[in-house]
Structure 1
Amino acid sequence: MRIVFAGTPAFAVPCLRAAAGRGEVVGVYTQPDRPAGRGRQLAPSPVKVEALARQLPVFQPENFKSQAAREQLRALEPDLMVVVAYGLILPQSVLDIPAQGCWNVHASLLPRWRGAAPIQRAIEAGDTESGVCLMQMEKGLDTGPVLLSLSTPVSGDDTGGSLHDRLSGLGAEVLSDGLKLLRAGMRPVPQPQPAEGVTYAHKLDKAEARLDWSRPASELANKIRAFNPWPVAEAELAGERLRIHAACALEGTTDKPPGSVVSASRDGIDVACGEGLLRLTTVQRDGGRALPVADYLNARPALAGR
């Protein structure tokens, strides 16, 4: 086969490796280099770094609106285009170019969590299961029929980071399975997505990271897990702004208003919420690094005495 791969972030790299394992990838599409780091120097995407290391041709159009960009893709004569977190919605004129169409690896069990941030939204919602789908792409946003899927449980210890890494590996597995079937002439059978159960995973906004102590502790604990490692939850606590990297919900009640410190010890800082208590276990001060609460309290003895 002649495969064109389109992807951008680290999540897509294992899928690129799976697609390129037999020398079938004839071109790699990725987003243009973007400013990154303190110096805001142009930096290549993780997919571009991997593609160059494999000596694969790399293409970085802003989009496919121009005839030239579409003809460049057509000239590669792709049998299949594999798209993983590319960052562009492909028009029908592009989807029609590969002989076998376009496949997408999506980090959810569709139709739940269509859209940009399925991993974080699953944790934020308290889902106990997630997974990946290999989908035949169509013009709609993640609406195409599912070819194959793999699931994984979501534990109370999972963060956005840990689930991201696990689903990235599962994505490579489900893509490998689909490619094996296609090579053998047994194309996976498309299964239309059910009309019921559709949810949308809207893009993360840094403004969402601010915790509202009037919300239930269980809800805040899920958000903290979901937003680790980005954008990281933050809140005002005892007169100081903290970024909160880890916490857990506790049962119990208090007569103190939401946002009040109920107790503080080496085990954690317990904060009153709209329902229950939230125990903070890893926090970060402005300009500092993430610390266990025991170390943070060494710098705030007055708080530790509560």
Structure 2
Amino acid sequence: MRVGFAGTPEFAQVALARLHGAGHELPLVLTQPDRPAGRGMKLQASPVKQFALAHGIPVAQPRSLRLDGKYPDEAQAGRQALEAAALDVLVVAAYGLILPQWVLDLPRLGCLNIHASLLPRWRGAAPIHRAIEAGDFHTGITIMQMDAGLDTGDMLLVERIDIAPDDTTATLHDRLAALGGHLIVQALEAAAHGSLQRTPQPAEGVTYAHKVEKAEAAIDWRLPAEAIARRVRAFDPFPGASFECAGETLKLWQAQARPGPAGTPGTVLAAGPGEWLVACGQGALALQVVQRPGGKRQPVAALLQARPVAVGSVLAPAAD
């Protein structure tokens, strides 16, 4: 089949590589414009663009596909590129732009989305983060026939995987990306034989995975320790959970909830070799891996040896 692809980050790049490896003709890739990144803030191509260029696949990077939007010239150029590609199908994975109706209608088989949740749970921008944060035991990949709604289209293929107790967004992302690449190849094979079945999403169980904001990184010690521990895993690698200690903003990358004595949330209950225990709204949080500004991730024992923390001291109060 002639398969167009729209995607931007590593999650999408994995799927693009699987489609390329499966032998599909890829006449066009859409991806977000290059963005400043790194210490020098130099323009950097997305993982999808890097893969496409390395394999001789044409790339278009319109800032919008809305013909009546802010960038009509770029949208029109994008339309011309899509029309010239004469696509059978457009595969979409974490693209970052809303597709207007004309795009959804253009390919012969429409647009198929690789979504990292068990729809209708966790529609929206951050399904991996929110599944971990909520304490879900399972998640998965849904291959969806796109419509004009936000992740509301019919389901085509669904596969579930377990969320491990120590999974972070980084580790779960990698497993889901691999699964997404596997399932989209399956979906296109079924579509080629006319055997792809559409199932409407159930009306019950809809949740929305809102975009993760940097402001969410600040640890609120008034929350239960279990909830904070889940957030630490959900916000790894971005934006990272953080707290204030002795005038420094530290990032917390690994922690475990423990039963703990009552105490003012944020109070340091223990700070000995290998143990940094902090009172929470319910229970206590054992801090295990932290990072100082400009430094690397390190076990708490190393940090406490370099800069001891007093038992009974209270970490910066949670923001209201």
Q: Quick check: 1:238–1:261 contact (8 Å CA) kept in 2?
A: no
Cα offset, 1:51, TM superposition? 0.6
Compare 238-247 and 158-167 and name the one that shifted more. 238-247
Runs of 4 or more, structure 1, over 6 Å off, are: none
1:219 matched to 2:227: yes
- Per the alignment, residue 151 of structure 2 pairs with 142
- Per the alignment, residue 283 of structure 2 pairs with 276
Which amino acid in the other structure matches residue 251 of structure 2? Answer: R
Compare 32-41 and 91-100 and name the one that shifted more. 32-41
Superposition pairs of residues 238-249 of structure 1, within 5 angstroms:
240-249=248-257
Q: Alpha carbons of 1:143 and 1:248: their partners in 2 closer, same or farther (altered >3 Å)?
A: same
Cα offset, 1:59, TM superposition? 0.9
CA distance in structure 2 between the aligned counterparts of 1:74 and 1:167, rounded to whole angstroms: 31
CA distance in structure 1 between the aligned counterparts of 2:308 and 2:126, rounded to whole angstroms: 39
Superposition pairs of residues 146-165 of structure 1, within 5 angstroms:
146-165=155-174
Deviations 1:110-154 (A, max 9, x none): 000000000000000111101010000000010001000111101
Which amino acid in the other structure matches residue 194 of structure 1? Answer: P
Q: Alpha carbons of 1:302 and 1:56: their partners in 2 closer, same or farther (altered >3 Å)?
A: closer
- Per the alignment, residue 2 of structure 2 pairs with 2
CA RMSD of aligned residues (A): 1.5
- Per the alignment, residue 52 of structure 1 pairs with 53
- Per the alignment, residue 177 of structure 1 pairs with 186
CA distance in structure 2 between the aligned counterparts of 1:141 and 1:206, rounded to whole angstroms: 23
Q: Alpha carbons of 1:303 and 1:137: their partners in 2 closer, same or farther (altered >3 Å)?
A: same
Which amino acid in the other structure matches residue 57 of structure 1? Answer: P
Deviations 1:244-280 (A, max 9, x none): 01101001323x2110100123333100001000000
CA distance in structure 1 between the aligned counterparts of 2:77 and 2:306, rounded to whole angstroms: 60
- Per the alignment, residue 121 of structure 2 pairs with 112
CA distance in structure 1 between the aligned counterparts of 2:41 and 2:77, rounded to whole angstroms: 30
- Per the alignment, residue 245 of structure 2 pairs with 237
1:167 matched to 2:184: no
Compare 174-183 and 120-129 and name the one that shifted more. 174-183
- Per the alignment, residue 34 of structure 1 pairs with 35
- Per the alignment, residue 73 of structure 2 pairs with none
CA distance in structure 1 between the aligned counterparts of 2:137 and 2:308, rounded to whole angstroms: 39
CA distance in structure 1 between the aligned counterparts of 2:77 and 2:250, rounded to whole angstroms: 49
Q: Quick check: 1:297–1:304 contact (8 Å CA) kept in 2?
A: no
CA distance in structure 2 between the aligned counterparts of 1:228 and 1:155, rounded to whole angstroms: 15
User: Secondary structure at 2:239's aligned position in 1?
Assistant: coil
Percent same amino acid among aligned pairs?
53
- Per the alignment, residue 201 of structure 1 pairs with 209
CA distance in structure 1 between the aligned counterparts of 2:255 and 2:245, rounded to whole angstroms: 14
- Per the alignment, residue 253 of structure 1 pairs with 261
User: Secondary structure at 1:241's aligned position in 2?
Assistant: strand
Cα offset, 1:205, TM superposition? 0.3
Cα offset, 1:23, TM superposition? 3.9
Q: With structure 2 as the length reference, what TM-score do the two structures score? A: 0.92
Cα offset, 1:239, TM superposition? 5.1
Q: Which runs of 5+ in 1 are unaligned?
A: none
Q: With structure 1 as the length reference, what TM-score do the two structures score? A: 0.96
Pairs aligned (count): 304
- Per the alignment, residue 82 of structure 1 pairs with 91
Compare 259-268 and 194-203 and name the one that shifted more. 259-268
- Per the alignment, residue 271 of structure 2 pairs with 264
Cα offset, 1:240, TM superposition? 3.9
Q: Quick check: 2:169–2:234 contact (8 Å CA) kept in 1?
A: yes
Q: Alpha carbons of 1:302 and 1:87: their partners in 2 closer, same or farther (altered >3 Å)?
A: closer
Cα offset, 1:173, TM superposition? 1.2
Cα offset, 1:304, TM superposition? 8.1
Q: Quick check: 1:89–1:141 contact (8 Å CA) kept in 2?
A: no
Q: Which runs of 5+ in 2 are unaligned?
A: 68-75, 314-320
